């Protein structure tokens, strides 16, 4: 891998904690950031697009890419449902002279932080409470009861790993969380904050 020319900001959280909303906000307010599109073996949801939201691969294709060492990190989150970060994706962003921002699951975030050390800022987005998280997941109305229960069980495990991150950002009041995320990102990237 080429020498790191940029920095990485990693956002991880249990499903429903609001990390994607925060990442989108930072992409809209800090032009030096570029989104690392993750790869997955799950099918697209709604109007998700290959190459924009995720790189969608079959489980077999995903495993071939693992064998070819094409991933910086990857995780089998549920049986045959894998997520990972392609090495080529980070290199593409650095070649553009930008810093990488990630929206990844908790284990992926920990793996990225371990690999990139001080070059990466790992932020764990935490819901104000487990009850608030459950309410958010149910209000989405996009998944079955079985899937929601699976996500909640996983969320409990993920929240116990928050201490592995550089910073825990509690997303209770969205506007406050967005401002805090902006301050953290600007400080880490040595940029002047507009806030």
* Number of domains observed in the structure of the chain: 1
Task: Tell me whether residue 192 is in a domain.
Answer: no
Task: Tell me whether residue 1 is in a domain.
Answer: no
Task: Tell me whether residue 195 is in a domain.
Answer: no
pTM of the model: 0.86
The answer to whether 10 and 123 are in contact (CB under 8 A) is yes
Task: Tell me whether residue 3 is in a domain.
Answer: no
Q: Which domain holds residue 97?
A: 8-187
- Domain holding 45: CATH number? 3.40.50.300
Task: Tell me whether residue 101 is in a domain.
Answer: yes
Task: Tell me whether residue 90 is in a domain.
Answer: yes
Q: Point out which residues pair with 55 in neighbouring strands.
A: 39
Task: Tell me whether residue 147 is in a domain.
Answer: yes
**What are the pLDDT tens digits along the chain (195 aa)?**
344 579 999 999 988 788 999 999 999 999 999 999 999 999 998 899 999 989 999 999 999 999 999 999 998 887 889 999 999 999 999 999 999 999 988 988 999 999 999 999 999 999 888 888 888 778 877 778 888 888 888 888 899 999 999 999 999 999 999 999 999 999 999 976 544
């Amino acid at each position: 891998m080429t020498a790191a020319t940029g920095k990485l900001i990693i956002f991880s959280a249990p499903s429903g904690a609001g990390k994607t909303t925060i990442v989108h906000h930072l992409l809209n307010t800090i032009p030096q950031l570029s989104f690392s599109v993750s790869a997955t073996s799950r099918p697209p949801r709604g109007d998700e697009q290959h190459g924009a939201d995720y790189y969608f691969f079959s489980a077999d294709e995903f495993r071939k890419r693992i064998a070819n060492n094409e991933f910086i990190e990857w995780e089998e989150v549920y049986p045959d449902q894998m997520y990972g970060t392609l090495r080529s994706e980070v290199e593409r962003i650095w070649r553009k002279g930008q810093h990488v921002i990630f929206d990844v699951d908790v284990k992926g975030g920990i793996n990225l932080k371990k690999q990139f050390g001080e070059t990466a800022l790992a932020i764990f987005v935490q819901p104000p409470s487990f009850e608030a998280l459950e309410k958010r997941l149910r209000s989405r109305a996009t998944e079955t009861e079985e899937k929601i229960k699976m996500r909640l069980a996983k969320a409990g495990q993920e929240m116990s790993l928050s201490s592995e991150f550089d910073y825990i950002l509690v997303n209770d009041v969205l506007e406050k969380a967005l401002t805090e995320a902006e301050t953290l990102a600007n400080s880490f990237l040595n940029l002047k904050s507009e806030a």
